[in-house]
Amino acid sequence: MTHRTRKRLALLILLVGLPAYVVVAATVVGWLDRPSIWVELLVYAGLGIAWVLPLRRVFLGVAQADPEHDDGGPEGPPR
């Protein structure tokens, strides 16, 4: 997968997938009878970590410069 594709996919996941996941997680927790605050905190913490585990490969290196595009560093493009 190219760097540009990974950046676009990561943005799509953050703008569409994450809000949808939050709604689903809150709905599922709402179906449970009101557990103690510690159980509820544990469930939300687990769900907060669970969404990123399968997607971490998409997010790795997205904030870095494109390795396929060499601009020559601070000196500018190579001559």
pLDDT in tens, the chain (79 residues): 787 888 888 888 889 988 998 898 888 888 878 878 898 888 888 888 888 888 888 887 777 777 777 655 555 555 5
Q: Residue 69: inside a domain, yes or no? A: no
pTM: 0.64
Q: Residue 76: inside a domain, yes or no? A: no
- Report the number of distinct structural domains present in the chain: 1
1: tokens are 């997968």
Q: Residue 34: inside a domain, yes or no? A: yes
> Whole-angstrom Cα distance, residue 72 to residue 78?
5
> Whole-angstrom Cα distance, residue 48 to residue 38?
15
Residue-range definition of the domain harbouring residue 48: 3-61
Q: Residue 68: inside a domain, yes or no? A: no
Residue type for 72, please?
G
> Whole-angstrom Cα distance, residue 14 to residue 8?
10
